[in-house]
Structure 1
Amino acid sequence: MAKFLLKKIGWLFTLFLTTTSIAFSATEVEGMRVWSATEKTRLVFDLNTTAEYRMFALTQPDRVVIDIADTYLKRPLPQNDFDNGLVYGVRSDRKNNGILRIVLDLNQAATYSSYLLKPYKNLGYRLVVDLSQTGYKKVITQPKTLKASTTIQPILIAIDAGHGGEDPGAIGIKGSREKDIVLAIAKKLAQLVAKEPGMEPIMIRNSDYYVGLYDRIKKARQAKANLFISIHADAFLHPRAQGASVFTLSDQGASSAAARYLAQKENESDLIGGVQIKGKDNSVAQILLDLSQTSARQASLKAASDILRQLQKVGAVHNTTVQHAGFAVLKSPDIPSLLVETAFISNPTEERKLNNPNQQSQIAQAVMNGIRAYFYHNPLPKTLLVQRQHVIAPGDTLSGLAQRYEVSLNELRLANGIKGDFINRGDTLLIP
């Protein structure tokens, strides 16, 4: 009898060790975070280790299913993180074979992509699931003509609000998040561009979700943008740093230690925001490699200079000249691209100002004035601005021309960089 008990105890101990090792080897879903928008929703599942999984879509009703092998939930998945996005609910069930099934209930059919991310800084293993509204990419179309009877094309301004979603960007002392502030400024700028005759805005992101650095470039190129502006409000090593800066791309070293520091921080966004770096397609690889076109860089510098001059009128600037650094988001070979650091969110005074809607509007207006000045002095073929020119003839006066073309004197001065009323015979005026 004692021998039998010993055998039974030994068997139970072996079973305990086996089941315990299985439990400890299983993957654990520690939590789920959601960033929801009308056209795109991102879900991030925090894991304690890597995992094997599969995904598939079902219809009637629309849903996406995620099966994760040998996995269990640490706690129930949140049910209140969906804000009028593609997903309205999430369900889960652990099967007898150890598979954790997560079902995403959708408001409409959606395409999906997913990938696993390794730990980075304070972030652990992550399973990232991106859902996109079916047909969303059709929003990016060929530029429409301003008038059906002409070939005049609008000037397309790609407006990129930095960070988003899982990547909050820099955090101010009062807890302000860079991603929220720059999105507010970007939306105000888009409204101004939309009102500008001959121009149209392209928003790289419209809400709180992350877009990969090279996907931002790709989206602007697909839309055939004429100018790419990335808006930020970064932090520095000490809270005394202040003022706006404007950057263009440099592949031969940064123009200052601050520029190098900021570029390094911004280029880490994909690791924080959750982007699969490997396996980019050939079109993106070409973007990364084909940096030989100098005309885009020269245009970038001109546009950046015009915007910096306008920013100086609404507040302090950190540098009075355009700075250069290796920002990944500026590496488009054929679109003039620049990055605006609107202010330092790490500076308590500037953090307070950046949260003020009036200050946001002033920044957006300054950038708009710079955009206008650049394209007035560098009009593109087949656009409205190139059609609106006047060669000054004998007897012409600035006030008379303003009346003839039904524009204000101030608009005429601003478009041509004129401070007074003096004009020279034979010069060409740009008519706003």
Structure 2
Amino acid sequence: MPTATLRRPRRRRRKRAPLLRLAAPILALVLLAGAFWIALARFSAQREDDPTKQARIVAIDAGHAGSDTGAIGVDGVRECDLTQATAQALWDLLEADPDIVPVMCRSDWDEDLPAADRAKRVARSDATLSLSIHMNSDGGSGQASGFECFPAPPGNQYNKNSLRFADFITAEMSAAGASLRGDGGVRYAYYDENDQRIIRERSDTNPEGYPSFAMVNSTGCASVLAEQCFITSESDLAAFASPEGCQLAARCYYRAIRQYYGLSPEPEESAS
């Protein structure tokens, strides 16, 4: 009896789509996604650079606190007491403002925290603006006076916006009666390899190659360090370091902050 020969059934050959036909839509999707991410990155960069489109989160730093008393002025007045009074007054103004969220760089007035650590705290806070408040001293001669502030210097990615903030501050302080030191009250500060301070006027836009104050150099946002007045000057002390003077300076900083973000100097309900 003849044996049947088993044959495998023939498989139908599937027609393969041409490679280009499959690749074309994939390539189009890749190009579209790439264009989208490039546009998104450009938009994010523009938004980050435009203060009027940023989250309004402001870090307030009292430059001295705890055992770090800072300078000693006329009649034994301590810098730390004045920076704290001004920072608290500014906090109160910002906390009452629904347009702005304030954050403090210290957990309390007795916290000893180096400037580098306070700068890191600002960087972690999502703040888009930082102000470090200080008082000035001339070593006791009583001859120096006036207001000056130090934005993030040339070469720092936040220099442009820091300078914008500094200009609003000096305009407000000048209107309040402060004399402005140097070139309109705005200067740059650096520390060389021997920790010696180098002061440059705002017109010197060449990066110095040295670090500035930690509170303007390492905060991750636009930052200004303000030297509110000379506490070794009796006239400065009366104008901007008395209880009323600290309130006045805080109001100047507050108005500058609002203008930095593109807001009116005062909220509409309190504008007069």
Which TM-score band (shorter chain)?
0.5 to 0.7
Looking at structure 1, the residues matched to 110 and 136 of structure 2 have their Cα atoms a distance apart, in angstroms, of 18
Q: Which amino acid aligns with 2:142?
A: P
Looking at structure 2, the residues matched to 323 and 153 of structure 1 have their Cα atoms a distance apart, in angstroms, of 25
The Cα offsets for residues 257-302 of structure 1, whole Å up to 9 and x where unpaired, read as xxxxxxxxxxxxxxxxxxxxxxxxxxxxxxxxxxx652x1110000
Partner of 1:170: 71
Partner of 2:180: 318
Looking at structure 1, the residues matched to 54 and 215 of structure 2 have their Cα atoms a distance apart, in angstroms, of 26
Q: Which amino acid aligns with 1:370?
A: A
1:235 aligns with 2:137: yes
Q: How many angstroms does 1:153 deviate by?
A: 8.3
Conserved 8 A contact 1:169-1:234? no
Partner of 2:169: 307
Conserved 8 A contact 2:240-2:248? no
**Which ranges in structure 2 are unaligned for 5 or more consecutive residues?**
1-52, 191-212
Q: Which has the higher strand share?
A: 1
1:350 aligns with 2:214: no
Partner of 1:199: 100
1:362 to 248, 256, 268: 248
SS of residue paired to 1:372: helix
Q: How many angstroms does 1:376 deviate by?
A: 0.8
Alpha-carbon distance change, 321 to 356 in structure 1, aligned in 2, over 3 angstroms: closer
Partner of 2:160: 298
Alpha-carbon distance change, 218 to 346 in structure 1, aligned in 2, over 3 angstroms: same
1:215 aligns with 2:114: no
Q: How many angstroms does 1:217 deviate by?
A: 0.6
The Cα offsets for residues 323-359 of structure 1, whole Å up to 9 and x where unpaired, read as 1112232112631010111100111232344442221
1:190 aligns with 2:91: yes
Q: How many angstroms does 1:175 deviate by?
A: 0.4
Alpha-carbon distance change, 221 to 162 in structure 1, aligned in 2, over 3 angstroms: same
TM-score by structure 1 length? 0.41
Q: Map of 1:23-422 to 2, 5 A cutoff?
A: 155-205=56-106, 206-237=108-139, 238-250=141-153, 294=157, 296-319=158-181, 320-326=184-190, 327-332=213-218, 334-376=220-262, 407=268
SS of residue paired to 1:164: coil
SS of residue paired to 1:250: coil
The Cα offsets for residues 123-160 of structure 1, whole Å up to 9 and x where unpaired, read as xxxxxxxxxxxxxxxxxxxxxxxxxxxxx985111000
Q: Which amino acid aligns with 1:245?
A: E
Looking at structure 1, the residues matched to 160 and 85 of structure 2 have their Cα atoms a distance apart, in angstroms, of 29
Alpha-carbon distance change, 166 to 225 in structure 1, aligned in 2, over 3 angstroms: same
Partner of 1:14: none
**Which ranges in structure 1 are unaligned for 5 or more consecutive residues?**
1-151, 252-291, 378-384, 386-405, 412-432
The Cα offsets for residues 87-129 of structure 1, whole Å up to 9 and x where unpaired, read as xxxxxxxxxxxxxxxxxxxxxxxxxxxxxxxxxxxxxxxxxxx
SS of residue paired to 2:75: coil
Looking at structure 2, the residues matched to 341 and 153 of structure 1 have their Cα atoms a distance apart, in angstroms, of 26
Looking at structure 2, the residues matched to 333 and 359 of structure 1 have their Cα atoms a distance apart, in angstroms, of 28
SS of residue paired to 2:102: strand
Looking at structure 2, the residues matched to 191 and 299 of structure 1 have their Cα atoms a distance apart, in angstroms, of 24
SS of residue paired to 1:342: strand
Looking at structure 2, the residues matched to 407 and 165 of structure 1 have their Cα atoms a distance apart, in angstroms, of 38
Looking at structure 1, the residues matched to 126 and 135 of structure 2 have their Cα atoms a distance apart, in angstroms, of 26
Q: How many angstroms does 1:211 deviate by?
A: 1.3
Residues paired across the two proteins, number: 192
Q: Which has the higher helix share?
A: 2
Q: Which amino acid aligns with 2:146?
A: G
**More divergent stretch after superposition (318-327 vs 207-216):** 318-327
Conserved 8 A contact 1:154-1:198? no
Looking at structure 1, the residues matched to 77 and 110 of structure 2 have their Cα atoms a distance apart, in angstroms, of 14
Alpha-carbon distance change, 410 to 354 in structure 1, aligned in 2, over 3 angstroms: closer
Alpha-carbon distance change, 225 to 352 in structure 1, aligned in 2, over 3 angstroms: same
Q: Percent identity between the aligned chains? A: 30
Q: How many angstroms does 1:315 deviate by?
A: 2.1
Q: Which has the higher contact order (CA 8 A, sep 6+)?
A: 2
SS of residue paired to 1:174: helix
Runs of 4 or more above 4 Å deviation = 408-411
Alpha-carbon distance change, 321 to 344 in structure 1, aligned in 2, over 3 angstroms: closer
